[in-house]
Structure 1
Amino acid sequence: MIEPRPGHSVNKLRRAIGTRRFTGETSMKTSIRNILIPALAVAALTAGLGATAMAQTKGHDHGHDSAAPHVLSLNNGSKWRTDAPLRAGMKKIRNLVAPELNAAHAGKLDAARYQQLATRIETEVAGIVANCKLEPEADAMLHLVIADITQGTDAMAGKDHQSRPVLGLTKVARAVNQYGSHFDDPGFKPLADGH
């Protein structure tokens, strides 16, 4: 514990520590605290985002390696194979999002409409996950798309208070387009930007 210097009261000591004017030792502790606390906060936030993606796909394990890639990529330059339930589910999600993009960007969707749309998209995602019959590598790539869709629907539903619903809908639209760019779905039509 730091003892007050002669002639300094405990209250003066507390004020000095609080205003970072006491000693080099206190200044060093304060500097370390100013660096360490934000660094730990960033680490916790980053870990939390990863845990969110993992939690969204929990229970949907096909035995593939938990060290699956965390970047969406092609299958050696080719699109990943799909199955009928995946194609049907993604088409439904695309068709839910497409008619809402322009209205969303014009500020014409209210919170209730975003919530309703998020719920319908989440229902389709649940159907895709329940009926998944992809090879493990393709499945791992699909989980990245699903994680982005789920982050988008969380923002749309007001669960993510740091993101506006319109940005959530945009995230879902981008994830749907990423699906089309990385998965073999002959009938897929990309979504327009909506701006």
Structure 2
Amino acid sequence: MLSRTILSMSALALAGALFAAPAAAQSTAHHDHAPHAGHDAQPQAPAQRWATDAPLRAGMRNLREATETLHHYEMGHLDDVQRDNAVDKIDAAIQDMIAHCTLKPDADAALHGLLATFIAGANAARAGTFGKAELAPMQDALAQYPRMFEDHDWSEAAH
């Protein structure tokens, strides 16, 4: 029970860091995430795809793997421990992407829209309410990623 409370608190802290971190807490080498707090959760693809960095590419692959795990969980093929492992993977991927972000502000804002979907899905899984309604937006965010970001090694078929 305590570990679930800590995980929930971690998710809230992660969401806060993602969307409302005060400018004073930001590194001078890293841009401020706070201005993106009110952006659309459904970002539009740019005219030209944004460049990616290694943390973004690795993080998105981890999000894809965790989403696939949650898909199997939603179908009843996995247990709660496996679900929780997928949620932990989502949390770690997002934390790493935020900590090592080098994206330009527009690309960063678009990424936040995608990440919000994974945070919502992870929170639903943590609460025991994960289902198709949470899975579908996560799968859609994964489909949007290669339309928005230049990632030559991303394969739609890869899982």
Normalising by structure 1, we get a TM-score of 0.58
When Rg is computed on C-alpha atoms for both structures, the one with the higher figure is: 1
The amino acid across from 1:118 in the alignment is V
The amino acid across from 1:91 in the alignment is R
Match of 1:147 in 2: 116
1:127 is the counterpart of 2:89: no
1:57 is the counterpart of 2:51: no
Between the aligned residues of both structures, percent identity stands at 26
* C-alpha distance in structure 2 between counterparts of 1:191 and 1:105, whole Å: 20
Contact 1:156 1:169 in 2 (8 A): no
* C-alpha distance in structure 2 between counterparts of 1:167 and 1:121, whole Å: 18
Q: What stretches of structure 1 of length at least 5 have no aligned partner? A: 1-51
Contact 2:21 2:33 in 1 (8 A): no
| Greater RCO, CA 8 A, separation 6+ | 2
1:79, distance to aligned residue in structure 2 (A): 1.4
1:99, distance to aligned residue in structure 2 (A): 5.2
Contact 2:87 2:126 in 1 (8 A): yes
Instruction: Report the CA distance shift for 1:64/1:116 in structure 2 as closer, same or farther (over 3 A).
Output: closer
Q: What stretches of structure 2 of length at least 5 have no aligned partner? A: 1-12, 24-30
Instruction: Report the CA distance shift for 1:156/1:64 in structure 2 as closer, same or farther (over 3 A).
Output: closer
* C-alpha distance in structure 1 between counterparts of 2:14 and 2:144, whole Å: 17
Q: CA RMSD in A?
A: 3.1
Correspondence list, 1:72-151, <5 A: 72-75=43-46, 77-98=47-68, 101=71, 103-151=72-120
1:107, distance to aligned residue in structure 2 (A): 1.7
